[in-house]
Every structure is written in C-alpha cells, then in structure tokens.
C-alpha cells in the first residue's frame, strides 16, 4: 500500500509537472519546485481530494497552507489530521 509520501509525490508530480527525482521530503514547494500561489492552491485542493474519504473530509485552510513549505511539512500536516500510511 502507498505511504502518505508516495501519494503526495504522485499528486505533486501531476499538479506541478516536476520530475520524480525532484520530489523529495526536503523539497521546498516554491524554491525547489517553482510552485506559484495559484499552483499551491490547486495542489492543496488536489491533496484534499486525494486524502479525503467517506469517513473523513480533509480541508487545508489558507492559513495552514502558508505553513506548508516543504513536502515533509505536508506529510507532517496530513499526519496531524489523523491520516496514516496505508
């Protein structure tokens, strides 16, 4: 089963059009992956869709999105919402 990071990695690659070797836990969404503000919002929406389930609706408010700088920040945030590796 895919881990949170593996699922996140797939979404980031699709949304931001970056190569797999760029998508590492320490990658900065803006500096390393060149995401602009619109792409960050679209990425958050994609993550909400990816990690929501019938029993849990994931929502990432703008103020929380501003705190997600690296991919590891995103993993930690999702874990904080109770999302676990499959």
Q: Are 64 and 77 in contact (CB under 8 A)?
A: yes
Annotated catalytic, 28?
no
Structure tokens at 34: 């060149």
β strands within the chain, DSSP E:
none
Query: Which residue out of 21, 28, 36, 62 is catalytically annotated?
Result: 36
Say how far apart CA 6 and CA 23 lie, in whole Å.
Answer: 10
Say how far apart CA 63 and CA 68 lie, in whole Å.
Answer: 9
* Catalytic residue IDs: 36
């Amino acid at each position: 089963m895919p881990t949170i990071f593996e699922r996140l990695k797939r979404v980031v690659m699709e949304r931001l059009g970056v190569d797999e070797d760029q998508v590492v836990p320490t990658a900065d969404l803006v500096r390393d992956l060149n995401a602009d503000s619109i792409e960050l919002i679209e990425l958050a929406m994609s993550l909400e869709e990816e990690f929501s389930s019938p029993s849990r609706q994931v929502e990432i408010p703008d103020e929380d999105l501003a705190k997600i700088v690296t991919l590891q920040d995103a993993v930690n945030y999702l874990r904080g919402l109770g999302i676990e590796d499959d």
